Structure 1
Amino acid sequence: MFVDINDNRLHVEVLGPDDAPVLIVHHGAPGLGTLAEPKGSFGPLSDTYKVVVFDARGSGQSEGKGPLTHEQWAADVEGLRVWVGAERFIMAGGSYGGFIAMEYAIRHPDRLLGMVLRDTSADNANEAMARANALSSARVELDLDKFHRIMEGRTRDNADLRECWAEILPLYDHVYDPTVVQQKVEATTYRYETHNWAFTQNMPSYDIKDRLGAVTCPTLVTVGRGDWITPVACSDTISTLIPRSRLEVFEESGHSPQIEESKKFQRVVREFLSEALSHTRR
């Protein structure tokens, strides 16, 4: 369905019973990601939760009215909360979606029952780590011009974004499978203006470390041991700064433990949410 949130049409899907606790999930990779990944990762939890997944402003099938800022994306989450009728809810976000989940938690701490973060960072320090990891990888020989264009938000059009995305995708998984990489390239929806905005306008000043102490809800921080772009050190920083948080490292995953170790991911998230919600009922 399409829903007007903050004067922008969003592509939204709602899974699960109406009377269940609400879980809103924000996908990563602005201009590349869609609701498909969080639907696959958190959709199974719709047996217990009312799961809301959506294409963020400027991604997938949603409209892309500016500004495409963290503030606006967090405001869209708040708009979805109002639309779905949840006084309080659980927030989840992976990769860049984790940036927005944390931004929301800082702005609206009283609205969250819990938060699940996956392979994300509290500042832009991950970019230097990612560059070092990519350049030292023996998996592929990178076209450095394409690598720098996508990392710096200088892609020329959707076709160029596709080429640059195909260049770095082999770095993401714990086990490299060229067939899987090509399938991901084909399945991606490309919105180069959104991607470029995120990495030229938002990322240079992104640093929320000094505000994470304001997050009051129980928080699960998850990360793959082999994550090249938001390494374990980034998640360790988050779990240190958020007061009621814990870190879970997935040893056989790259950037996507929700896919690469899906059974363990489902179990860990379910156990965490059950415990977090049990405290709210006391």
Structure 2
Amino acid sequence: MDWKKKIVQTHRGVFELFEKGEGPPLVVTHLYSEFNETGDYFANSMVGNYKVILLNLRQCGESERVQEPYQLSLLETIFDVEAVREELGYKQWGFAGHSTGAMLGVVYGVHFSDRIRELILVSGAAREYMSDTDACIYHPNHPSFHTMQAYLETLKRKDLTHKERMSIKQARTKLSLYRPERYDEYFDQKIEKQVSAGRLSYFSRELHIFDVTRKLEQVACRTLVIGGRHDVQCPPLFSIEMAQSIPAAELELFEESNHYPFIEEKEKFQKVLARWRGVPLHNQ
């Protein structure tokens, strides 16, 4: 079953979202992904436990356009998320984010913990993650740094065929899997999300000054932090750092995962979520 589309008019503009599942409300988003009715792998992993609200941020899908560049910032984005919550009539809801979605979640928790029932941060960081450790694939000393950079540069070309582009994207993703040979098994759903070039470009600049580690103690809501032991994008030290500094945080490290624990160790991920919620494991 596809996700159900909804357009919400807020005081900050119009936002497109997609809903699926039953249970307490949980908003899921990513800083520069454009979603549609086909859903999202991370959001799908939450459906068995929550009523998931998959949100297209400003400049994505049919959501509000950007009038000024600053509207793409992390802080302005959480104001948009809050406007959607208010319009939907939830006094509180949960927030779950993977990768840059988790980074957005940290900022959300710092500023609006009283509006968040629970915070789920997967494979994220509370600060810039590229220059601190060569365990990150974006650090020049990482053994796969040049390979990753070559893929990223090639994807900027306008003359690539669809088949060529998809092949490069697959090779790039394999760099972030603990068992890359299982790619076809992991990514077997017809999900057709896109990337917002404008949001990605803004994030690439904002990332260099991103650091909320000194404010993590202000995250007052119940928080689950999940990281892959072999994550090359946001290495586990950043998950550990968040869990140690957020007062009500619990940490789960997945020993056979890279950047996608909800796919790479799917069964364990579902068990962790069910235990976190305190309910029997649901079958998706």
Shorter-chain TM range is: 0.7 to 0.9
- Aligned with residue 21 of structure 1, among 16, 21, 24: 24
TM-score, reference length from structure 2: 0.78
User: Which among 239, 245, 248 is matched to residue 252 of structure 2?
Assistant: 248
Counting matched residue pairs gives 261
Given the alignment, which residue of 156, 165, 172 partners 1:168? 172
Decide whether the 8 Å contact of 1:11 with 1:55 is kept in 2.
yes
- The residue identity in structure 2 corresponding to 1:21 is P
Shift of the 126–233 alpha-carbon distance from structure 1 to 2, 3 Å rule, reads farther
1:199 aligns with 2:204: yes
Tell me how far apart the structure 1 counterparts of residues 230 and 17 of structure 2 sit (CA, whole Å): 31
- Aligned equivalent of 2:137, options 125, 130, 133: 130
Q: SS at 1:125's partner residue? A: coil
Aligned 8 A contact 1:6 1:76 in 2? no
Preserved contact between residue 31 and residue 60 of structure 1 (Cα < 8 Å): no
Q: Could you tell me whether the CA contact under 8 Å between 2:15 and 2:84 is conserved in 1?
A: no
* Residues in 1 aligned to 2:159 and 2:75: alpha-carbon distance in whole angstroms: 25
The amino acid across from 1:196 in the alignment is: S
Cα shift at 1:75: 1.1
Partner Cα separation in structure 1 for residue 115 and residue 193 of structure 2: 32
Aligned residues of 1:172 and 1:255 also touching (Cα < 8 A): yes
Provide the rounded CA distance (Å) in 1 between the counterparts of 2:157 and 2:190. 17
Match of 2:3 in 1: none
Aligned to 1:80: 84
Where is the helix percentage greater, Structure 1 or Structure 2? 1
Identify if the C-alpha distance between structure 1 residues 186 and 117 changes in structure 2 by more than 3 Å, giving closer, same or farther: closer
Match of 1:279 in 2: none
Q: Give the 4+ runs in structure 1 shifted more than 6 A.
A: 156-160, 181-186
Structure 1: 5+ residue runs without aligned partners? 276-282
Matches within 5 A, 1:87-236: 87-126=91-130, 128=132, 129-132=136-139, 135-137=142-144, 142=147, 144-147=149-152, 165=169, 168-177=172-181, 180=184, 187-200=192-205, 202-236=206-240
Q: Secondary structure at the match of 1:2?
A: strand
> Cα offset for 1:147?
4.0
Describe the shift of the 1:179–1:252 C-alpha distance in structure 2 as closer, same or farther (beyond 3 A): closer
Q: Where does residue 57 of structure 1 map in the other structure?
A: 58
Matched to 2:200, the amino acid is H
Change (3 A) 1:96 1:174: same
Q: CA deviation at 1:229?
A: 0.3
* Structure 1 residue 237, shift from structure 2 partner: 0.5
Q: Quote the offset at 1:251 in angstroms.
A: 1.1
Aligned-partner SS, 1:42: coil
Using structure 1 for the length normalisation, give the TM-score.
0.79
Kept in 2, the 8 Å contact 1:253–1:261? The answer is yes
SS at match of 1:113: strand
How many Å separate the matches in 2 of 1:53 and 1:185?
Answer: 17
Distance 2:190 2:274 in 1: 31
Identical aligned pairs, as a percentage? 24
SS at match of 1:213: helix
What is the root-mean-square deviation in Å for CA atoms of aligned residues? 3.3
* Change in CA separation of 1:157 and 1:103 when aligned onto 2, cut-off 3 Å: farther
Is the CA contact 2:12–2:80 (under 8 Å) kept in the aligned structure 1? no
Q: 1:241 to 1:184 in 2, by over 3 A?
A: same
Match of 2:48 among 38, 44, 51: 44
